[in-house]
Structure 1
């Protein structure tokens, strides 16, 4: 979740409160261990990893937001660029004023889908198929901010969380017009002086779409009805300062959530309680998302506030 650097002071204050509130109990065995940095990136060239999708061979596909790139990090840490989205003259993206690549989702056949926020008609969902150039498959409002992206291959639908318009958009996987699938106060950003990022991360879990709201510090669940429409928005957790994107580490509804402004990853349990499981001491530098394959946890850090060492951290589930 790219943010303006003027928010760094507020983030520091929240960091202290957030880590105290979510500190693990003394003597409790940590659920995430063996954290180490798998790859370091170049802040000066815009290699700020915003979101992640895992490949079947153990590599990680990342969006480098300000470089407008989709990149792949191989298991040995080698990083290579897969594609660069178009340059946009005079972008007017809300909040960040730069054209940026945001969420990423991967289909089983290896096709990648990404969000692109530009403040122009190029704002929307883009597809990167093997051996092809990136192609826009859906246009989203230029005054919005498509952020997290999730793919439901069973229904053939993509879901994009719009941080500014407080909307979850639904887009056919094959491409076509977007539909405002879910709206409501729970998805909206807070008014100024809040940062202005509402609905942010998004994931599919069984027959529901889960969404984080960064300004409100909440984790939400939206049932998918039999006809595909959105059911009532349910609050599943609150008090999650700085929550960005997240992942489910197992078959249940426990979540590992990146908390970018407080430099932490939190385990959010089904009862809504949370515990910090990774922090700046492990190498986090404003983490933006989480992915899990088996017992391996991947956490990209974009260094939006720290301006130091954007990286990809890898750890093990207990």
Structure 2
């Protein structure tokens, strides 16, 4: 929002309002809504015997449908957001990350190579690894092919132009697919890599998990690093290249962070695949746990909020897939967490109080000036 600097502003009534008063007004309008806390939770259990392991979630443009890809069964499944009842399903090979593009279609990151690694199979087709699009009509098409062996396309996001950014969970790179389908390495850094340590105390020892969840907000890309508990920020330069990488958030409580979503105020709603928790982290670094294993969460990986201005529902996925570094205490599923605001923070109340005082002061000044004008006449 627009900030107002020093000086004065004079309206057509002749009343002069100081910059301090305007600063109070600006402060009052810039304060984010009160933090959302969990109220109740609903989970639609899925069938692991049928390969229904949902890694990520995304909402349709109208908010009425939740989409998630079942990694082992090779299906992108829709769910009604009000009841979590199943709707349509579309076959897509080894789907992981999922995101809505600017046209309302679903973009899906696919990883048949990694599926074969987990299952001991060899059915993966190199041309199937990369990015697919699922249209509202239920048609799946390949958008781009990414490297096959050793690459794990785990999450993706789009910018306002239509470029697609894909995180490689096992590597140190972010790929970009431009609007004509050309694939390139957009950013590469050790900051994007997981922890190669063989320390047995590490929850992912021997299986480094680096760049994971991805979001684009304006001209900045945000990506989580699971092993190091970081969210990194990478500017998208005017020419489309990647800017210098910086740390947006970092905390031991974020070690294990997988997918996440962000609101308009920079607050992060994230899923922790290691602790099976949903967390809320504001830009100052304050973190609260919204739900955990006792609420039915299990190896939670995907998050989508229903509004970026004032979220009231958070949708998530329980991956619960049997891999060495995960302890899944509940079965796979997709769920909805209802959110409601807490008590209005004191700073917000103070801002509104000062705004009211400023309004009264301005009114008194205006009345005095009008009174002087009447006397002069």
Partner of 2:255: 241
Q: In the aligned structure 1, how far is the partner of 2:293 from the partner of 2:184?
A: 39
Partner of 1:40: 45
Would the aligned equivalents of 2:63 and 2:306 in 1 still touch at CA under 8 Å? no
1:224-303 mapped onto 2 (5 Å cutoff):
224-238=236-250, 239=252, 240-248=254-262, 250-294=263-307, 295-303=312-320
1:13-28 mapped onto 2 (5 Å cutoff):
none
Equivalent residue in structure 2 for 1:222, among 228, 231, 234: 234
Report the Cα offset of residue 107 of structure 1: 2.5
Would the aligned equivalents of 2:104 and 2:136 in 1 still touch at CA under 8 Å? yes
1:136 aligns with 2:142: yes
Q: In the aligned structure 2, how far is the partner of 1:287 from the partner of 1:210?
A: 19
1:156-195 mapped onto 2 (5 Å cutoff):
156-173=162-179, 175-193=180-198, 194=205, 195=207
Partner of 2:18: none
Partner of 2:348: none
Q: Which has the higher helix share?
A: 2
| CA offsets 1:196-217 (integer angstroms, 9 cap, x no match) | 2110100011210000011222
Report the Cα offset of residue 66 of structure 1: 1.5
1:311 aligns with 2:333: yes
Q: In the aligned structure 1, how far is the partner of 2:220 from the partner of 2:330?
A: 36
Q: In the aligned structure 2, how far is the partner of 1:122 from the partner of 1:289?
A: 22
Report the Cα offset of residue 30 of structure 1: 7.9
Provide structure 2 residue ranges, at least 5 long, that are not aligned to the other structure: 1-33, 114-125, 199-204, 322-326, 342-377
Change (3 A) 1:216 1:252: same
Which has the higher relative contact order, 1 or 2, with Cα contacts under 8 A spaced 6 or more apart?
1
Provide structure 1 residue ranges, at least 5 long, that are not aligned to the other structure: 1-28, 87-99
RMSD of equivalent CA atoms: 1.9
Q: In the aligned structure 2, how far is the partner of 1:308 from the partner of 1:59?
A: 24
Q: In the aligned structure 2, how far is the partner of 1:296 from the partner of 1:140?
A: 34
Partner of 1:26: none
1:146 aligns with 2:153: yes
Partner of 1:104: 98
Change (3 A) 1:196 1:76: same
TM-score relative to the length of structure 1: 0.81
Q: In the aligned structure 1, how far is the partner of 2:268 from the partner of 2:256?
A: 15
Would the aligned equivalents of 1:283 and 1:313 in 2 still touch at CA under 8 Å? no
Would the aligned equivalents of 1:217 and 1:242 in 2 still touch at CA under 8 Å? yes
Change (3 A) 1:232 1:285: same
Quick check: which has more Rg, 1 or 2? 2
Q: In the aligned structure 2, how far is the partner of 1:65 from the partner of 1:206?
A: 30
Q: In the aligned structure 2, how far is the partner of 1:313 from the partner of 1:35?
A: 11
